[in-house]
């Protein structure tokens, strides 16, 4: 290898390293990290509230998934020695509290809000607001959107492909089986399986209870 090629290779590697460092710093600016905690290269932090104190990651916890706060509210707290797997998405407009020593596998979805209204006009107005003015920063701009806190207690294991919806509490030490849909509380120390069959019902105002 010539001297010029060697210099080019070193410069290329330095530029890649610098880009990765800047990307890590940008992600870390959207949250608070405890001692020994890490955002691994796959991790994404989307904090539309722009308040890093609202996403708190405890000591020695490792994040490989995506943590997102809506512009009008939300809070995510993760305890010590916990793990969030690749392609896992945790979206909060109310609050998601994850305890200590919690293992969350890959492809898990945790959402404490419905995201959109079941009313088509309200849903379109929300989408139009996001496209033209960005994420709404006031709950009043999100009619029909519902939210409720999610609490995942210490020592829980959530297997891959699980979906957890608003208002759920998972008790200490429980295990959620792969592919499960969690829409109600899980007591401490239980194995939870829920692979529901498709159900088709007319769309009414009461449908919001299942979103």
Q: How far apart are CA 191 and CA 173, in angstroms?
A: 9
Sign (positive or negative) of CA dihedral 117, 119, 122, 126: positive
**pLDDT > 60? residue 18:** no
Out of 12, 111, 116, 124, the active site residue is: 116
List pLDDT tens digits, range 141-176. Answer: 888 899 999 999 999 999 999 999 999 999 999 999
**pLDDT > 80? residue 24:** no
For residue 17, the model assigns a pLDDT of 55
Q: State pTM to two decimals.
A: 0.82
* Distant-in-sequence, close-in-space partners of 173: CB < 8 Å, separation ≥ 6: 153, 154, 155, 156, 188, 189
Is 126 an active-site residue?
no
For residue 162, the model assigns a pLDDT of 96
Stated length of the chain: 211
* Distant-in-sequence, close-in-space partners of 137: CB < 8 Å, separation ≥ 6: 71, 72
Mean pLDDT of 18-40: 74
Q: How far apart are CA 65 and CA 62, in angstroms?
A: 9
Q: What is the mean pLDDT of the chain?
A: 87
List pLDDT tens digits, range 56-85. Answer: 999 999 999 999 999 989 999 999 999 999
Question: Which CATH code fits 31-210?
Answer: 2.160.10.10
Q: How far apart are CA 34 and CA 155, in angstroms?
A: 19
- pLDDT category at 115 given cuts 50, 70, 90 is confident
At 24 the three-state DSSP class reads: helix
Q: Domains of the chain: which residue ranges?
A: 31-210
**E strand or H helix at 10:** helix 3-28
The fraction of the chain above a pLDDT of 90, given in percent, is 62
Mean pLDDT of 125-132: 88
For residue 81, the model assigns a pLDDT of 98
For residue 207, the model assigns a pLDDT of 64
**E strand or H helix at 126:** helix 120-133
Mean pLDDT of 43-55: 95
**pLDDT > 70? residue 88:** yes
């Amino acid at each position: 290898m010539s001297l010029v090629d060697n210099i080019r290779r070193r410069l290329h590697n330095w530029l890649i390293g610098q880009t990765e460092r800047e990307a890590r710093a940008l992600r870390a600016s959207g949250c608070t990290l405890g001692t020994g905690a890490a955002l691994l290269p796959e991790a994404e932090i989307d904090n539309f509230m722009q308040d890093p104190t609202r996403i708190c990651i405890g000591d020695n916890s490792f994040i490989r998934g995506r943590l997102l706060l809506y512009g009008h509210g939300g809070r995510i707290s993760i305890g010590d020695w916990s793990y969030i797997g690749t392609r896992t998405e945790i979206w909060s407009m109310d609050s998601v509290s994850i305890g200590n020593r919690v293992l969350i596998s890959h492809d898990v979805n945790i959402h404490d809000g419905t995201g959109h209204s079941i009313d088509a006009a309200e849903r379109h107005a929300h989408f139009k607001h996001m496209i033209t003015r960005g994420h709404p920063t006031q709950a009043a701009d999100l009619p029909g959107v519902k939210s409720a806190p999610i609490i995942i207690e210490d020592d829980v294991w959530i297997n891959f492909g699980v979906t957890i919806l608003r208002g759920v509490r998972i008790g200490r030490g429980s295990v959620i089986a792969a592919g499960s849909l969690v829409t109600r509380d899980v007591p401490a120390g239980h194995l939870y399986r829920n692979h529901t069959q498709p159900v088709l019902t007319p769309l009414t105002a009461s449908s919001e209870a299942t979103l």
